[in-house]
């Protein structure tokens, strides 16, 4: 079974509902996964937007959510996640905060990549790592990656 990441709230390459954005309640979308490879000891999740600030001339990737050390038995994250699965740690998004920050593109339609990594280890407590720091800590430990891409364009 392939390692897959999905959401009941939006389809791959489809629009992310406003509820999960700065125009809505800015709550995290529900996510579910399957096919975690054998040998996986923990999972990590990164959500980012490579189209910032303008998809016609992107200059950076904006990080929206960083989670790591999700227990391997976890198969989903609930909508509006309030309590992390036991042992899960958070990193910093590009607002310099922990937790989810939803889509809020200044111009155009942006793509939001939800990337789930199956790791062959439980990472040490990295404090509140940035995406780059987490990726560095994961290097050499990624068994598989699942990805779900959604889009968002502000209406106002």
So where are the chain's domains? 4-152
Contact 30, 78 (CB under 8 A): yes
pLDDT tens digits for range 40-79: 999 999 999 999 999 999 999 999 999 999 999 999 999 9
Q: Indicate the pLDDT class of residue 1, thresholds 50, 70 and 90.
A: confident
Dihedral in degrees, nearest 10, Cα atoms 36, 132, 122, 84: -80
Torsion, Cα 83 124 144 133, to 10 degrees, reads: 90
Residues in the chain: 156
CATH 3.40.50.300 fits 4-152, yes or no: no
Please indicate, yes or no, whether the overall pTM of this predicted structure exceeds 0.95: yes
What distance in Å separates the CA atoms of residue 112 and residue 154, rounded to the nearest whole number? Answer: 13
């Amino acid at each position: 079974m392939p390692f897959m990441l999905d959401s009941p709230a939006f389809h791959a390459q489809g629009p992310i509902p406003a509820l999960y954005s700065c125009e809505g309640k800015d709550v995290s979308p529900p996510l579910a996964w399957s096919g975690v490879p054998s040998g996986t000891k923990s999972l990590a999740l990164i959500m980012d937007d490579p189209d910032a600030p303008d998809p016609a001339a992107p200059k950076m990737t904006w990080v929206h959510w960083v989670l790591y050390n999700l227990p391997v038995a976890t198969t989903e994250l609930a909508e509006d996640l309030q309590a992390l699965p036991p042992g899960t740690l958070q990193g910093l998004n590009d607002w310099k905060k922990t937790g989810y920050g939803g889509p809020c593109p200044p111009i155009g339609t942006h793509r939001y990549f939800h990337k789930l990594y199956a790791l062959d280890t439980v990472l040490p407590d990295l404090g509140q790592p940035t995406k780059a720091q987490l990726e560095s800590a994961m290097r050499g430990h990624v068994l598989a990656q699942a990805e779900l891409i959604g889009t968002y364009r502000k209406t106002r």
